[in-house]
């Protein structure tokens, strides 16, 4: 299955790609190019219910059990096809994200090991494995194993942090997962490998985030830094595609840039902005 540039887009991230079950290639803003997406959440479920989520939970998933070997075969096939194209696109990363929380999948570590081995075998030595997670399983045995596999693979973990107070987190992420536990998970994960934080800022009912809400978020970042968390960067972004919730819309580039400046100024962290 050859991928043409015309088949890929930053505004259309369909999980359906050819006959693949687990793989969906996309042009990703945050990866800055072709990203081989991996969806292990075939049941279409997530333990969060973010207001900006684009996954249609009305569509009932097909399966719940992941077959790592089938995943490995699909990944090998798509990467071998890309490799065989004389002027093929550069593969920026292999990213576990998908229709739910990848760290909820108990075989994630095995899949990371497979992905790393396949990338090496096909000569994609500069292509990292990335896991995008909401951070809620990092204190579980299988979450820890996934982090250790990522570290061994020279990979990256990108952890969602959208709020710095429990009320905002519950409202934005549709969860009662304790913010304090999430902070501890981020801290513990960073002891295994440096973490990238992903933070979504958006308009609700046409209004930007309240200044006190941004203040709570900054205080949370400062708590993490003061606690010794190793944060390689913060990705500040806004909605790129219309979420299911129609009252959620993109934040303008100026306001997003101002938030990014505050993060840099008040925490000293490196910040990438995706307006």
User: For binding to ligand SF4 (CB under 6 A), which residues are involved?
Assistant: 46, 48-50, 53, 55, 100-101, 134
Closer Cβ to ligand SF4, 50 or 224, answer by number: 50
Q: Which is nearer to ligand SF4, 113 or 183 (CB)?
A: 183
Backbone φ and ψ for 69, nearest 5 degrees, come out as -65, -40
Query: Between 49 and 120, whose beta carbon lies closer to ligand SF4?
Result: 49
Classify 95 as helix, strand or coil.
Answer: strand
The minimum distance between CB 227 and ligand SF4, in angstroms, equals: 24
Task: List strand residue ranges (DSSP E) for 124-241, in order.
Answer: 129-133, 156-160, 195-200, 202-204, 231-237
State the alpha helices, DSSP H only, in 122-241: 141-152, 166-173, 179-190, 211-226
Work out the angle between the directed axes of helices 68-84 and 108-121 (0-180°, nearest 10): 30
For the bound state, the minimum distance from the C-beta of residue 163 to ligand SF4, rounded and expressed in Å, comes to 13
**150 with 195: CB under 8 angstroms?**
no
* Closer residue to ligand SF4 (CB): 46 or 129: 46
Name which of 20 and 177 has its Cβ closer to ligand SF4: 177
Q: How far is the CB of 42 from ligand SF4 (least distance, A)?
A: 13
Residue with tokens 């194993």: 145
At its nearest, how many Å lie between ligand SF4 and the CB of residue 121? 30
CB of 15 to ligand SF4, least distance (A): 11
Q: What are phi and psi of 154, to 5 degrees?
A: 70, 30
Smallest distance, ligand SF4 to C-beta of residue 236, A: 16
DSSP state of 207: B
- Cβ closest to ligand SF4, residue 118 vs residue 182: 182
Task: Report how many helices (DSSP H) and strands (DSSP E) the chain contains, helices first.
Answer: 7, 10
**What tokens appear for 94 in the block?**
């292999």
Max Cα distance, the chain (Å) = 53
User: How far apart are the C-alpha atoms of 236 and 264, rounded to whole Å?
Assistant: 11
Report the residue number, 200 or 221, with the smaller CB distance to ligand SF4.
Answer: 200
Task: Work out how close the CB of 223 gets to ligand SF4 at its nearest, in angstroms, rounded to a whole number.
Answer: 22
Q: 34 phi and psi, to 5 degrees?
A: -75, 120
């Amino acid at each position: 299955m050859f991928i043409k540039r015309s088949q890929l887009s930053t505004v259309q991230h369909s999980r359906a790609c050819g006959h693949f079950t687990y793989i969906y290639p996309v042009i990703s803003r945050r990866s800055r190019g072709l990203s081989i997406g991996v969806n292990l959440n075939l049941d279409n479920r997530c333990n969060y219910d973010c207001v900006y989520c684009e996954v249609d939970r009305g569509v009932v998933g097909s399966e719940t059990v992941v077959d790592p070997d089938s995943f490995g075969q699909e990944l090998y096939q798509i990467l071998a096809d890309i490799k065989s194209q004389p002027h093929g696109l550069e593969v920026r990363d292999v990213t576990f994200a998908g229709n739910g929380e990848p760290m909820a999948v108990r075989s994630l570590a095995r899949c990371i090991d497979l992905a790393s081995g396949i990338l090496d075998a096909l000569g994609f030595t500069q292509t990292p494995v990335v896991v995008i997670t909401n951070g809620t399983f990092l204190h579980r045995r299988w979450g820890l194993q996934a982090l250790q596999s990522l570290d061994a693979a020279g990979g990256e973990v990108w952890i969602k942090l959208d709020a710095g107070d429990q009320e905002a987190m519950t409202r934005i992420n549709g969860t009662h997962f304790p913010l304090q536990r999430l902070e501890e998970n981020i801290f513990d994960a960073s002891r295994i490998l440096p973490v990238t934080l992903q933070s979504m800022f958006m308009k609700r009912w046409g209004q930007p985030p309240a200044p006190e809400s941004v203040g709570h978020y900054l205080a949370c970042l400062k708590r993490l830094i003061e606690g010794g968390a190793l944060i390689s960067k913060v990705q500040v972004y806004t909605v790129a595609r219309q979420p299911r919730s129609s009252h959620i819309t993109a934040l303008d580039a100026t306001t997003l840039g101002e938030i990014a400046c505050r993060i840099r100024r008040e925490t000293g962290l490196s910040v990438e902005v995706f307006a």
